[in-house]
Amino acid sequence: MSYKGIDSIVESIKKDTQAAYNLEIEKANQKGEALYQEMMDEAKQRLIRIEKNQDEEVRHVYRREVKRFQLDAQKEIDKYKHELVDRVVNESLQRLQNMKDEDFIATLNRVLERENGNEKPRICVDPKYYETVLASHGTEYQVLKIDEMSPGFLLRFKDYDVDCEFSYLFKYKRDTIVKLALIHLFGEGHE
């Protein structure tokens, strides 16, 4: 599958999820800041108790505790971000699998344009969209219904197939989709 196909999917993810998840992103940032502040307050209280005993050791303990709390806070923030991205990706897959007929046809047309060549593929579709695709493309293409296929479509050319079954794309391109979602939602790359 080419990156243009991934780009189309990522563009759909962007359009469908950005507004709904801006609030979640803000909550994640606020939660992380509150957690960080709580940890910093706890570290400061420890410092006050320790200062009475040894000044040099206090500085060392403070730096170590602050670093530990920062790492713990960052782990919690990263965990929450990954949970949010997983939810976004899963909900995006559900939206794709349940898209309206006209959106499905538009997606099919974009992929057909991208794969434009001399050969016309056979279009294999799941039962849910079969009648719609048959009505819109049945005079120009051979349209086949595959009962065991999940939502999406498969373009069968003579020498190769272009598999646009949504669950397949999300299963085998999940790492790439997650990285792109992290960048899009949080403006940063993550491991």
Cα separation, 153 vs 150, in Å, equals 8
- Name residues whose C-beta falls within 8 Å of residue 82's C-beta, 6 or more positions apart in sequence: 190
- On whether residue 169 sits in a domain, the answer given is no
Cα separation, 58 vs 46, in Å, equals 9
Do residue 57 and residue 15 come from a single domain?
Answer: yes
- Name residues whose C-beta falls within 8 Å of residue 22's C-beta, 6 or more positions apart in sequence: none
Do residue 18 and residue 31 come from a single domain?
Answer: yes
- On whether residue 175 sits in a domain, the answer given is no
74 is in which domain, residue-wise?
10-98
Give the predicted TM-score (pTM) of the model. Answer: 0.56
The tally of domains found in the chain comes to: 2
Q: How confident is the model at residue 18 (pLDDT cuts 50, 70, 90)?
A: low
Can you tell me whether residue 160 is helix, strand or coil? coil
Rounded to an integer, the average pLDDT of 69-93 is 90
Cα separation, 74 vs 80, in Å, equals 10
pLDDT the model gives residue 136 = 92
Rounded to an integer, the average pLDDT of 141-159 is 92
pLDDT the model gives residue 189 = 58
Pairing of strands 143-145, 152-156: unpaired
Do residue 125 and residue 88 come from a single domain?
Answer: no
pLDDT the model gives residue 60 = 81
Do residue 111 and residue 145 come from a single domain?
Answer: yes
Cα separation, 30 vs 191, in Å, equals 22
Do residue 32 and residue 68 come from a single domain?
Answer: yes
Do residue 65 and residue 114 come from a single domain?
Answer: no
Do residue 93 and residue 145 come from a single domain?
Answer: no
Cα separation, 11 vs 45, in Å, equals 48
Do residue 86 and residue 134 come from a single domain?
Answer: no
Pairing of strands 143-145, 161-165: unpaired
Cα separation, 40 vs 35, in Å, equals 9
Tell me the residue type at 86: D
